Structure 1
Amino acid sequence: MRRRQRADDGCSSAVASRSSMHYPVLLRVEEYLDLAPRYGSEVIRVGSLVLFASHTPWAYYARPNRGNASPPRRKDLVRLRRVCKHRELPLRIEWIAELSPELENIAAAFGLRIARHPLLILTEDEFVERSRSVGVRMLDPDDGQLIESRAVVHVVFDPTMPAAAGVVERDARLLRLDHAEVNYAHQRARSGRTVTGVASVAGVGVVATGSYNPIGEVAEIVGVGTLPTYRHQGLGSDVVHQLCEDAFSHGVQLIALVAEDEGVARMYQRLGFRRIGTCMSAQDCSF
């Protein structure tokens, strides 16, 4: 595996004109993001958008229709809202800003709440060597800590959790995990569609986790989080580093990652990730 050390190159926004150096890789990531939810959803075409009606324990979203040359318009959002209400689905749209630049203004004028997140990629040549904590490892599909890792994710991404949430909150969520989510997590792990790594502490169990979802030679890292009481120890970075190493060793050539904000993006850049654009999301918070 050939790797090189590299410095943090900042996270300036990319411009994805067809002549841009980022345009081909943005299209590659867009293709992946279009394929990823199709494995667990009904695909519903809504004008220039595609809605993924999830068959899984968690909800999906709508995206621009890759097969439609026309950009999204307001009437598509009107239709999307109607379909989502009929099916009792959340109205959420995700897209790459540089490939669908017109959608932000349309969604904002439609009253949706907009969020912007740095989009980063990593290739094997850019992967930065580093040591990791001893408790970081990949999980087999039937490892008992796989479900413990799901409880960590629930704690980390629950905005109602206390700032000092830790093992007590994790174990409480573990007891309340839905059987459908548990079964689906094992199903995806056994099929190889989700591969999970964790950081564990002796006598405590899983305190940080993350996963990658491979499709062909592209994968996305998702669900990275550390229990608040164990943050600022580099455990999340260690887990991501382990995930990247494992993905490259299994034939992945390009890893994509959507960071929460610019500060988180800078952390990933220390592992070799580079910023190529911005992922957008828009959602209707009224229902």
Structure 2
Amino acid sequence: MDKQVQNFAVANLRRRPAVVETGGFVAGFSPDTDSPYLNYATPLPGAAPTRGDVAALVGAFRERGLLPRLEFAPEAAPAVAPALRAAGFGTEAVHEYLVCTPDTYTDPLPGGDGPRVETPATDEEFRALDAALAEAFGGAFGASAEGAARLRRLAESGGEARFVRAGDGGCAGGATCSPPAEDTAELAGVGTRPAHRRRGVAAAVTAALTRAMFGRGVGSVWLEYSGEGSRHTYTRVGYRPGGTRLYVSLPATPPA
């Protein structure tokens, strides 16, 4: 699965508004934000970069005033992590990813029980989803018009978005799924506003998005998680361990 996930990562970054391919790396940039989570690179499976290849990649980030940063499945390109660490890159995180297939999928809320899941369609609904996810992730990113527009573009370019409406008409929580590539898709940004947690919102939107992708013929859906609580939510839907993904970045002043 590591190679498939890595091939997906390459294909997904190639969809970005600005793309640089150099020395076995693909870097995808979003000109409307300097967020490191939306401007990063990934290696081609099996890449074996030289010092010059890594330097060229770093240059592509530095000339844009961005943090050189990569996300990838290290087992799909074993030579990459050592080359990056030799250049001063440090580890931000190592995340396990989980995979769901039509054979492992389980409806966590059978019989129609649980929150009603909807598909955002209006600008107001995309703004509400963006604001809910910003709150859910504790200010890791702020709600913005650009964020809402990115959610709409994702939904209109082959991806999917789902949300659960709050009692006040806003958004209790939601999630998105990327456009498919390499017979898989990434489910991301599953978040619930604190006041609406422990009501099945995350499980409901995860299940709805996973079903939607299987309905489109995708062979698997994968995601990353943080914390055992969220892991339990996903395993209820049928997600199973698939591998790990490594996040690395290069500080402005590499350590001595």
Q: Check whether TM > 0.5.
A: yes
1:45 aligns with 2:11: no
Query: 1:62 — aligned with what?
Result: 41
Aligned partner of 1:104 among 81, 94, 98: 81
8 Å CA contact 1:112–1:282 kept in 2: the answer is yes
- Work out which of the residue numbers 99, 114, 129 in structure 1 matches 2:107: 129
The equivalent residue for 1:20 is none
Task: Output aligned runs, 1:1-287, within 5 Å.
Answer: 25-55=1-31, 57=33, 59-66=38-45, 70-109=47-86, 110-131=88-109, 134-142=114-122, 144-159=124-139, 177-178=144-145, 180-191=146-157, 193-203=158-168, 205-215=170-180, 217-261=183-227, 264-286=230-252
State the shift of 1:117 in Å: 0.5
3-state SS of paired residue (2:161): strand
Contact 2:48 2:79 in 1 (8 A): yes
Q: Which residue of 2 aligns with 1:16?
A: none
Shift of 1:123: 0.7
Verify the 8 A CA contact 2:120 2:162 in the aligned structure 1. no
Q: Is the 8 A contact 1:118 1:278 kept in 2?
A: yes
Secondary structure of 1:214's aligned partner: coil
Structure 2: distance between partners of 1:146 and 1:155: 14
What SS does structure 2 have at the residue aligned with 1:27? helix
> CA separation of 1:263/1:118 partners in 2, compared to 1, >3 Å: closer, same or farther?
farther
Structure 2 vs 1, CA of residues 101 and 245 (structure 1 numbering), >3 Å: closer, same or farther?
Answer: same
On the 8 A contact 2:91/2:246 being kept in 1, the answer is: no
Aligned partners of 2:229, 2:148: CA distance in 1, in Å?
32
Q: CA offset at residue 63 of structure 1?
A: 0.8
Shift of 1:198: 1.1
Q: Is the 8 A contact 1:113 1:285 kept in 2?
A: no
In 2, Cα distance between equivalents of 1:260 and 1:107: 25
Secondary structure of the residue aligned to 2:14 is helix
Which fold has the larger relative contact order, with Cα–Cα distance below 8 Å and residues 6 or more apart in sequence? 1
Pair 70,249 (structure 1): closer, same or farther in 2 beyond 3 Å: closer
Q: Which runs of 5+ in 1 are unaligned?
A: 1-24, 162-172
Structure 1 pair 150/53, CA: closer, same or farther in 2 (3 Å)? Answer: same
- Deviations 1:1-34 (Å, cap 9, x if unpaired)? xxxxxxxxxxxxxxxxxxxxxxxx3322222111
Displacement of 1:143 in angstroms is 6.2
Cα root mean square deviation, aligned: 2.7
Counterpart-to-counterpart distance in 1, 2:90 and 2:52: 14
Gaps of 5+ in 2: none
Following TM superposition, by how much is the alpha carbon of 1:153 offset from its aligned partner in structure 2, in angstroms?
1.6
- 1:168-206 CA-to-partner distances (Å, cap 9, x unmatched) read xxxxx65xx23x443343233233x23111122222521
- Counterpart code for 1:124: P
Is contact 1:128-1:272 (8 Å) kept? yes
Letter in 1 for 2:75: E
